[in-house]
Amino acid sequence: MKFHFLHENFNVLDLEKSIKFYNEALGLKVVREKFAEDGSYKIVYLGDGITNFQLELTWLADRKEKYDLGDEEFHLAFEVDNYKEAFKKHTEMDCVVFVNEKMGIYFITDPDGYWLEILPPKK
């Protein structure tokens, strides 16, 4: 029996804002969508066009309060081919929340406060 990663889910308050952020910050694109007939939820899957892994964004119509993300100890990690250019872009977007120069990584946050780790290419 073999398992493989398929997707990770983030619940979001403003689906369009989140889609725009993930596209601008990380180049992720919508690859499929699910919508409730009664309008109670929308689910959008984003992909990087390189791997099969997807980020699932779930929007619930009746949710108005911010999601509790605890101590934000969980995160998704992204490797980028041009670390310096990515850092500059994310700094300009004002979404960089933590830089660990010793480890050579940094974190950005999405509109809902989810942390995203950015790493340079493996050597």
Annotated catalytic sites, by residue? 117
CA angle 68, 23, 48 (to 5 degrees): 95
- Transcribe 47-91 into DSSP letters: E-SSSS-EEEEEEETT--SPP--TT---EEEEE-S-HHHHHHHHH
Q: How far is residue 85's CA from residue 87's CA, in Å, rounded to a whole number?
A: 5
- In DSSP terms, 55 is beta-bridged to 8, 46
